[in-house]
């Protein structure tokens, strides 16, 4: 299993980690299989979405902040309940097919680390399951 760190500088931000995930897949030596990307944090997530137009990330941030505003009367004592809800909505893992040593993402797709309680230093784990 490989991994890398992401340093976020904003409270809520989507960070393109496609190149780091692709590098971990290459380093594994696998040619075909699946790549599992996992974020071991309760206030962050990972998602696949468009990476051609940065306004998509801004729109995702806007939508999640409107769906789950920080101002709701949450009872969680740490004051970051909205981040927990957003992380659950986004999810903690994605799976990407691997063929000929390359991620099989769609033309416009990228893999994004989703920070909901930053700024923080976070860990992303990448596991490549090779086909036999």
The total number of structural domains that make up the chain: 1
1 pLDDT band (50/70/90 cuts)?
confident
pTM to 2 decimal places: 0.95
d(CA 17, CA 27): 16
pLDDT tens for each residue of 54-103? 999 999 999 999 999 999 999 998 999 999 999 999 999 999 999 999 99
d(CA 103, CA 2): 16
Say whether pLDDT at 20 is over 90.
yes
Residue 118 lies in domain: 2-130
Residues forming beta bridges with residue 78, ordered by sequence position:
none
CATH number at 125 reads 2.60.120.460
pLDDT tens for each residue of 7-16? 999 999 999 9
d(CA 70, CA 83): 8
């Amino acid at each position: 299993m490989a991994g890398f760190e992401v340093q976020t500088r904003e409270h809520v931000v989507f960070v393109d980690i496609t190149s780091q995930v692709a590098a971990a897949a290459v380093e594994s030596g696998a040619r075909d299989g699946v790549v599992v990307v996992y974020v071991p944090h309760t206030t962050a997530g990972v998602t696949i979405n468009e990476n051609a137009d940065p306004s998509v990330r801004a729109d995702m941030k806007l939508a999640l902040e409107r769906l789950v505003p920080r101002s709701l009367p949450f009872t969680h004592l740490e004051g970051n309940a909205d981040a927990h809800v957003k992380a659950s909505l986004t999810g903690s893992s994605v799976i990407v097919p691997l063929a000929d040593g390359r991620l099989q993402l769609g033309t416009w797709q990228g893999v994004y680390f989703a920070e909901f309680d930053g700024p923080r230093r976070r860990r992303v784990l990448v596991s490549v399951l090779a086909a036999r």
